[in-house]
Amino acid sequence: MGPLAAARPMTMDERADALEEQMERELERIITKSVLFNLADGKVEMEGGAALQAKHPGKLMLMGEDPRLPKMPDKPTLLDYFRYRFASTNHLLQSATHALKAGLDEKVVLACLLHDVGVVGFIRADHGYWGAQLIEPYVDEEVSWAVRVHQALRFFPDESVGYPYPDLYVKYFGADYEPEPYIKAEYERARNHKWYMTARMICVNDIYSFDPNAKVNIDDFTDIIGRHFKQPKEGLGLDSSPSAHMWRTMMWPTRFL
Ligand SMILES: [Fe+2]
Ligand SMILES: [Fe+2]
């Protein structure tokens, strides 16, 4: 680097890129970013294998665990995803604790515990749908159904159980935000469904204002998980359920293929 180049300090972006590149150079394998990760950065792009290997001569593509992420056990359980993959579990634990204290059915408690796994582990957008799909093969149909439709119900008040339209949504989305037609249609369908109240209980126990002092612990729920979540013996994500690949993607998000 010449003196002139050195004179201009790197921008935050350049520094982040340089750091990332340096880290990549130090790693054994070439770590790739899926199109979706790039879309989230506002870029419609993907680097092909040939270009990547040209940039990192002599290196092979990563086809397993990402050394930058916490190591997962050989046969991961739901609890391992709580520990090693979910970015934040406080909201889920507080919701489930709330439901437990209210004396609700264990199925409802589990639904509360898992209602936002889409947000904390996978993809924010349409998180109720992603979350339901993730857990569907492993829980009672009522639980995954409730997780799916909480996506829509949370935008509609139900005064009969003391659930108003969340103040937080006014703050987040503005006073004039209106849900899209598919959300309205989902709500209409759910309102007349036999499991409506299960899904509604997710909203009622959805704690938006976190209590930083609340003591919550995943260990309080191991029995409920044991009774109501069918842990596959091969490990969650290493089984052959219709959503095993989604758990695997959380475990190994940067595999080349
Ligand atoms: Fe949610
Ligand atoms: Fe939530």
pLDDT in tens, 121-149: 999 999 999 999 999 999 999 999 999 99
Can you tell me which residue has the tokens 């046969």? 75
- Report which bound ligand comes closest to the CA of 149: 1
pTM over 0.85: yes
- 39 and 114 within one domain: no
Give 204 Cα–ligand 1 centroid separation in angstroms.
Answer: 11
Q: Which two tokens stand for residue 159?
A: 């005064």
Give 91 Cα–ligand 2 centroid separation in angstroms.
Answer: 7
- 49 and 149 within one domain: no
Q: pLDDT-based confidence at 8, cuts 50/70/90?
A: confident
- Report which bound ligand comes closest to the CA of 88: 2
The count of structural domains within the chain is 2
- 236 and 118 within one domain: yes
List Cβ neighbours of 110 (8 Å cut-off, separation of 6 or more). Answer: 96, 139, 143, 221, 224, 225, 228, 229
Residue 67 placed within a domain: no
pLDDT in tens, 32-55: 999 999 999 999 999 999 999 999
- 225 and 109 within one domain: yes
What mean pLDDT is reported for the chain? Answer: 93
- 115 and 35 within one domain: no
- 187 and 111 within one domain: yes
Range of the domain at 105: 78-251
CATH number (domain holding residue 239): 1.10.3210
- 231 and 132 within one domain: yes
pLDDT in tens, 118-127: 999 999 999 9
**CB-count exposure of residue 82 (10 Å: 0-12, 13-18, 19+):** buried
- Report which bound ligand comes closest to the CA of 131: 1
Mean per-residue pLDDT, 193-203: 98
Residue 204 placed within a domain: yes
The mean-pLDDT minimum among 3-12, 18-27, 63-72 falls in 3-12
Give 116 Cα–ligand 2 centroid separation in angstroms.
Answer: 5
pLDDT of amino acid 4:
45
- Report which bound ligand comes closest to the CA of 152: 1
- 136 and 82 within one domain: yes
Give 126 Cα–ligand 2 centroid separation in angstroms.
Answer: 12
Mean per-residue pLDDT, 171-185: 97
pLDDT at 105 over 80: yes
pLDDT of amino acid 3:
41
- 214 and 100 within one domain: yes
Give 113 Cα–ligand 2 centroid separation in angstroms.
Answer: 9
pLDDT of amino acid 212:
67
